[in-house]
Structure 1
């Protein structure tokens, strides 16, 4: 056991040293992918290798290819860096090696999910009676929510989709905004509804669904099973749909409302931004990520459903050998996984570390830093293409080709990492501020680098 203790300590020391280096190391270091692959692709040895040697070899092979996504100047893909308490709890979860299938396989894992789920619903303004499935990400959360929706709207039409499948079922119509996230479409594919079931509803100037167009689409859809996908936090602009009005419209027509709130649902946790998601409690299901704005470890997200019985009917299963199944829905009853890792420990620890005020402060600071980005780049003469309502900033540096060159130059430079996107037919730089450790100095340093690189691109110094 002393050897195990030493091995775990070495791993923790490596992790801590890496985290300590994040403020100073290049965010996206130049990588020779072929060399990195060769470092890992050594012949599999015939004999066992001592664990401490394996750990040392892993660190040596991986270090050149690590991207500082957990650092304060990574502004891509709306991700934060896992907080100290959540990271430590995730280390414990790996050491405890629990199966979070049900209260029999791990009473502690299910208890942590139950407690953390109650905190999440309270923070987000989701009804306390809703169920919470702890899933891997927004894709899994959308799939679980839409599976519940499929179950309910077809059951209302007299069809048992879990028993009879979709062949011969009443057609399900899906209304979704033109700027919905791509995971919604993939969920519909996985659930057998298909993307042909989608009727796109036009979006307004900032990407939120047009409520008048939604009302018209609902009237045209007529009677029958209908699901409407709304959005809290447009992936490009941060814009949120008018949830209260939309929910009222959909429910009047007998439909189910699913809200994809991967990062934008966290607006509800702050008094300064809560108005953007007014009415969210009226929806039927919600998807939200923890490894984005909440700064929890990856593989952490939440599928909420206002009807726990519907949620469980869509996702659970039973077998004679599964001791403890069939009770109050929990654990694997609310997800598409059976051998689930105990991700609830890190969620509980991360929320406990921040507290209610800490979560609100995190949201407010990231929004303020996004506005600081926008102000700095506007002052430098560049175009901010969206209304900065949350933590998303879209920037144009002239024509599309020049913007792409500035994005590529920034990624190679290493001061910060930003992404590119296409929005409304234009290529733009996409800046997402989601990390709890980002400071005003990090933003100012990044703005200075982007201004410098844009100048170099204009002068032909960077291609």
Structure 2
């Protein structure tokens, strides 16, 4: 019997996806010029969506149209080339299109024998990533939700490996009763490192002193390692969230390995510097670490849900995360995706990464990363010409931290900038003072957008002063 018009089975994919495409294009076409802040709050959006559950809803295109009309006023335009908050990139068209296909294909990307199409794309993406980042070709790549889970995978694999070397099998015995694992990180590490340590049962990291740019001091790491013994995991940083600075990876990795420690590098946005010849000096020694984590959304400009975890010792990774069951047709020709990540059921989140790299190519990825750093340098140069502005960091990558004098003035400038809606920088606190942090992460941020940003800052400063 045919479905009636109020039955969801009457909906067509052509109708729903056609409406979604039109709505998405309308939103994205406004990215460059529309105001950045939302204009509606949560309660207003709930009212527009409708709070009462209907007995039956309208056809799918009407549902989507209503959704967009209600929700868009409550959205912040994070895609804007003048949005500099929280190290958030945008989404390149090829990557966004691939992300839509991933949702349409709806493959559970756990087992090589079951979904070979998307797994082939993910495996090639992994090989390309290792090549672009200069990491060992024998390392294994897993696709996770974001940088927090990427670090979690590296820390858990490291935890298990150092305990195994100490004669304790955590997979068999758990943590209770085994040797305590020391967990060390720089005092200016990102909060996701703390989360990963807690999730892994290691607790909050013991903090190692950092310099005035947030880089872990290698001499302090050496002293911290010498002050104790036993199984140890060290987390280094490629890209401080305020200064953009990188730990002395070569020196710190050598010191940590001399002490028998596992080294994980949190490179949520900074790992990509290794793909740009003009920035590779920042990541010298990177390949000698044991594991790495990054997020393709932040710098490669792939849609969300694109964290990447990489581990040099594939067998150690599999030991920590592989799953076996009689009903799972595990591969006999290579490791399964489920051997590399915490999840069994997951979408093919590596496919948009493949699409982004396939579109850009080696030179295009290098140009993208270098372009972000160049835009940050240009932004810093322009800000220095604004009276009363002080750049607090050495602008070596994509971060610019700015003070506009005293804390109150800095906060007021940030509020004025946000209210005007032309550009957005995230307020923060660094070096015991209020700052505005400009994180240049969007593929559309070019010289013209930098100039528009500087004009907006000058207007905000004039309004405050």
State the TM-score, normalizing by the size of structure 2: 0.95
Counterpart in 2 of 1:420? 427
Distance in 2 separating the partners of 1:421 and 1:312: 39
Does the alignment pair 1:364 with 2:370?
yes
Q: Deviations over 1:145-204 (max 9, x none)?
A: 001001100000111111211111101111110000100111111111111xx2211001
Say which of 393, 400, 403 aligns to 2:400. Answer: 393
Describe how 1:241-256 pairs up with structure 2 within 5 A: 241-256=247-262
Question: What does 1:292-441 align with in structure 2 at a 5 Å threshold?
Answer: 292-324=298-330, 328-381=334-387, 382-441=389-448
Instruction: Tell me which of 38, 45, 48 is aligned to 2:47.
Output: 38
Is the partner of 2:65 in helix, strand or coil? helix
**CA offset at residue 96 of structure 1?**
0.9
CA distance in 1, matches of 2:82, 2:66: 28
Query: Which of 19, 25, 33 in structure 2 is aligned with 1:16?
Result: 25
Any conservation in 1 of the 2:11–2:59 contact (CA below 8 Å)? no
Aligned to 2:458, what secondary structure does the other structure show?
helix
Q: Does 1:164 align with 2:173?
A: yes
Cross-structure match for 2:263: 257
Structure-to-structure mapping, 1:106-255, within 5 angstroms = 106-195=115-204, 198-222=205-229, 224-255=230-261
* C-alpha separation in 2, matches of 1:239 and 1:117: 26
Unaligned runs of 5+ in 1: 459-463
CA distance, structure 2, for counterparts of residue 151 and residue 337 of structure 1: 18
Q: Identify the residue that residue 453 of structure 1 maps to in structure 2.
A: 460
Q: TM-score, normalised by structure 1?
A: 0.96
SS at match of 2:277: coil
Query: Which residue does the alignment assign to 2:69?
Result: 60
- The Cα offsets for residues 214-261 of structure 1, whole Å up to 9 and x where unpaired, read as 111111123x10111100000111000111111111111111000000
Cα distance in 1 for residues equivalent to 2:331 and 2:407: 55
Retained in 2: the 8 A contact 1:404–1:420?
yes
Aligned match for 2:81, one of 61, 67, 72: 72
Is the 2:157–2:316 Cα contact (8 Å) retained in structure 1?
yes
| SS in structure 2 at match of 1:221 | coil
Displacement of 1:33: 2.8
Give me the whole-angstrom Cα distance separating, in 2, the residues matched to 1:168 and 1:135. Answer: 30
Residue of structure 1 equivalent to 2:5? none
* C-alpha distance in 2 between matches for 1:417 and 1:337: 35
* Aligned pairs, number: 455
Matched, 1:96 2:105: yes
For 2:170 and 2:463, locate their aligned partners in 1 and report how far apart those are by CA, in whole Å: 59
Deviation at 1:327, TM superposition (A): 6.1
Aligned equivalent of 1:3: 12
Shift of 1:112: 1.0
